[in-house]
């Protein structure tokens, strides 16, 4: 950690070591203890120190390797045929950003994964194909491009593609690294290996997908959303409608939170998600916040400046914004809107009382930019 002049003030650990203290430290080590003042400034930083770095994954590059996995492994042998996104600074926990895992899963027509459940919460954002489906605790859901799908923690779930469908690809998001860090992760394989649907197909969106309406005397009492699939078309329509009523956020444009229709809160206990739209030519101002975010370019193209580096993205590209890193977004088109899907660990931050946000104070809210490989200079 770099020296910080603020660490020289009273209220911080400013002990000067001498030979007697060093001997004392050695004595403490022998009984598996230590002196707090030797580590206090490091373990209690002035502000969060991100463990991850910003990364952009181009789908055009990923897709080749994702499809190659079809030839190399079966879902039965792999469990899940996924190419996961690995942050260079989070290799040891297999994380894409912070405590969030993400990967790209591919399945061919007629395939179904074995059903399982785990402590970690999971979500899907469909990228391409047709005929894909998921079954969550007996609820079978049909999936289409840009649909957002929940598989909440400890729910049985399996995925597949109908015989008459097409090769399908979707992005997975899970909080596996968080569950492992908390030493709370469990995993089970379904006793029958595959689920049998227990309800009418698409019963969840048919029952809970109407805006502002819930089944009368509804008995749903689970801690996650009863709406398990959020279809793209009504999501995009909601963004367009919201744009008619407001200028939106200076940092995120028109942004909507995917919500639990029963509570109005986050869709799951440990992960949240948003859809946002950047108007033609829009360039937001920068801000930063606690909590990690993984973005997926759902529509259009543009660029984001993350930690002073410019990342140019187009549809289906994925990039991450680590906690407490400045970021801003821009639509690359002067004629068409651009949309981003994102998921995050905000529910954890909020429940623990750790969420904090602040705007970039200088240069009219915009960062100075260095160009990343593969990006276009501003």
- Domain extent at residue 189: 56-208
What CATH number is attached to the domain comprising 252?
2.60.120.10
User: pLDDT band for position 378 (50/70/90)?
Assistant: very low
One domain for residues 267 and 349 = yes
Measure the CA–CA gap between 267 and 259, rounded to whole angstroms: 5
Domains in the chain, number: 2
Whether 20 maps to a domain, the answer reads no
61 and 198 share one domain: yes
Q: State the pLDDT at residue 243.
A: 98
Q: For residue 229, what are the β-bridge partners? A: 149
The residue assigned the tokens 């970039």 is 360
pLDDT at residue 376, as a whole number:
42
* Predicted confidence (pLDDT) per residue in 246-294, tens digit: 999 999 999 999 999 999 999 999 999 999 999 999 999 999 999 999 9
CA distance 100 to 175: 5
Whether 171 and 306 map to the same domain: the answer is no
Centre a 10 Å sphere on the Cβ of residue 344 and count the other Cβ atoms it contains: 25
pTM above 0.85, yes or no: yes
In this model, does residue 323 exceed pLDDT 90?
Answer: yes
Q: Rounded to a whole number, what is the distance in angstroms from the first to the last CA of the chain?
A: 32
Based on the fold, state whether residues 156 and 79 are members of the same structural domain: yes
Percent of the chain beyond pLDDT 70?
97
Residue that finishes a domain, picked among 208, 240, 255? 208
Helix (H, G, I), strand (E, B) or coil at 321: strand
267 and 164 within one domain: no
Local confidence band at 168 (pLDDT 50, 70, 90 cut-offs):
very high
What average pLDDT score do residues 129-155 get?
Answer: 98
Parallel, antiparallel, or unpaired: how do β-strands 370-371 and 309-314 relate?
A: parallel
Can you read off the two tokens belonging to residue 49? 């120190």
Across the beta sheet with 82-84, the strand order is 82-84, 101-107, 168-174, 122-128, 148-151, 229-230
């Amino acid at each position: 950690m770099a020296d910080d002049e603020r660490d020289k003030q009273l209220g911080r650990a400013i002990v000067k070591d001498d030979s007697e203290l060093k001997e004392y430290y050695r004595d403490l080590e022998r009984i598996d203890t230590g002196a707090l003042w030797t580590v206090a400034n490091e373990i209690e930083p002035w502000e969060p120190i991100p463990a991850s770095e910003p990364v952009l994954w181009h789908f055009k590059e990923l897709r080749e390797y994702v499809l190659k996995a079809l030839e190399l492994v079966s879902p039965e042998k792999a469990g899940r045929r996924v190419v996961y996104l690995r942050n260079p600074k989070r290799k040891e926990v297999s994380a894409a950003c912070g405590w969030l895992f993400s990967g790209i899963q591919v399945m061919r027509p007629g395939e179904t994964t074995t059903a399982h459940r785990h402590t970690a919460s999971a979500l899907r954002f469909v990228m391409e194909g047709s005929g894909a489906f998921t079954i969550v605790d007996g609820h079978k859901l049909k999936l289409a491009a840009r649909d957002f799908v929940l598989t909440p923690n400890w729910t049985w779930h399996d995925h597949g593609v109908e015989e008459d469908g097409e090769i399908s690809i979707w992005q997975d998001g899970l909080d596996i690294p968080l569950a492992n860090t908390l030493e709370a992760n469990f995993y089970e394989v379904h006793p029958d290996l595959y689920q049998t649907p227990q309800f009418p197909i698409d019963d969840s969106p048919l029952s809970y997908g109407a805006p502002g309406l819930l089944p009368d005397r509804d008995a749903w009492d689970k801690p996650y959303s009863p709406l398990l699939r959020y279809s793209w078309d009504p999501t995009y329509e909601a963004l367009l409608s919201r744009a008619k009523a407001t200028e939106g956020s200076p940092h995120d444009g028109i942004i909507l939170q995917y919500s639990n229709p029963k509570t109005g809160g986050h869709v799951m206990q440990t992960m949240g998600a948003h859809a946002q739209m950047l108007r033609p030519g829009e360039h937001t101002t920068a801000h930063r916040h606690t909590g990690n975010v993984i973005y997926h370019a759902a529509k259009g193209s543009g660029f984001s400046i993350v930690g002073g580096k410019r990342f140019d993205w187009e549809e289906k590209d994925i990039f991450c914004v680590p906690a407490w890193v400045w970021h801003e977004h821009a639509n690359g088109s002067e004629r068409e809107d651009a949309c981003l899907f994102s998921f995050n660990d905000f529910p954890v931050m909020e429940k623990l009382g750790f969420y904090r946000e602040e705007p970039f104070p200088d240069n009219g809210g915009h960062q100075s930019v260095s160009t990343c490989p593969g990006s276009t200079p501003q």
